[in-house]
Amino acid sequence: MIFDNAGVGPTVALPTPLSIDAMANQTSAFIDTLGLGRPDVLGWSMGSLIGQALAVLHPDQVRRLVLCASWPGNGEGIRPSQQALNSGELFPVDQTAAQNTYRVAISAYSPVPAAPAAILTAQGHAIDQWWAGRDPAGTQAARIAVPVLIADGTEDRLDPLANSLALASLIPGAKLTLYPDAGHAFLFQDLTAFVPLIESFLG
């Protein structure tokens, strides 16, 4: 099951300024409303920050946690360069086949309205606050007590590799898997290897 973040699609926007912790609380309410109990949670990029915050703020609602292309929220993470952010590079430059496959795959989804510019700005602010260590949950990764799998590509320009190593050291018992010559969208590029890993981890 995949759901829209605050203010995207039919999901109601949260009061500004938006925060990762607030989106985690909204995710908690979503789990409650649907009666999902204690689901396994996978988050990619910003979604992985929400997953971390959910496991800290609502530990009884997460059975196992998979964090893809994630980074710590303690203010000590290594931020990507502005050039890397501007590029929006999901795949290494030598992985054009993976990039083309990704574009074809997402083009098959039903057309949806673009996220409002104000929401994208608010999400960017929320991510900045997480980077700066201003979300309470982001500073408490050591409290995550559920089994955690962290994964990323070694060539991730949007989330430097050192952040995955740091996050794995902060979360007790976390498992770390890295995919060589893969970037921020490693989970699409290395799908055939990553899906069995997830299935094994979730049991």
Say yes or no to pLDDT of 110 above 90.
no
Question: At CB < 8 A and 24+ separation, what contacts does 192-199 make?
Answer: 194/151, 197/149, 197/151, 198/42, 198/66, 198/149
Query: Domain coordinates of the chain in residue numbers?
Result: 20-202
Give the pLDDT score at 182.
97
- Looking at residue 109, what is its pLDDT? 83
Query: Cα(74)–Cα(8) distance, rounded to whole angstroms?
Result: 27
Whether the predicted pLDDT of 108 surpasses 90: no
For the cut 90, the answer to whether the pLDDT of residue 76 exceeds it is yes
CATH class of 20-202: alpha beta
Most confidently modeled range among 8-17, 54-63, 81-90: 54-63
| Confidence (pLDDT) at 16 | 86
pLDDT confidence band for 161 (50 / 70 / 90): very high
How many residues comprise the chain? 203
pLDDT tens string 112-135: 888 899 999 999 999 999 999 999
Contact 65, 148 (CB under 8 A): yes
Closest Cα to residue 71, out of 104, 47, 89, 92?
A: 47
Is the pLDDT confidence value at 111 over 90?
no
To which H or E segment does residue 152 belong?
strand 148-153
pLDDT at 1: 84
Tell me the mean pLDDT in the region 155-183. Answer: 97
Q: Place 186 in a pLDDT band, splitting at 50, 70 and 90.
A: very high
101 pLDDT band (50/70/90 cuts)? confident
Q: For 194-201, what is the mean pLDDT?
A: 98
Strands of the sheet with 148-153, listed across from one edge:
41-44, 65-68, 148-153, 175-179
Q: What is the pLDDT of residue 11?
A: 87
Q: Is 151 helix (H, G, I), strand (E, B) or coil?
A: strand
> What is the model's pLDDT at position 65?
98
Strand-strand pairing, 41-44 and 65-68: parallel
- Helices (H) and strands (E) counted in the chain, each on its own, are 8, 4
Rounded to whole angstroms, the Cα distance separating 113 from 77 reads: 33
Q: Contact at 8 Å (CB) between 62 and 137? A: no
The average pLDDT across 46-75 equals: 98
Which amino acid is residue 30, in one-letter code?
F
Contact 47, 27 (CB under 8 A): no
Tokens 């952010």 -> residue = 85
Q: What is the pTM of this model?
A: 0.95
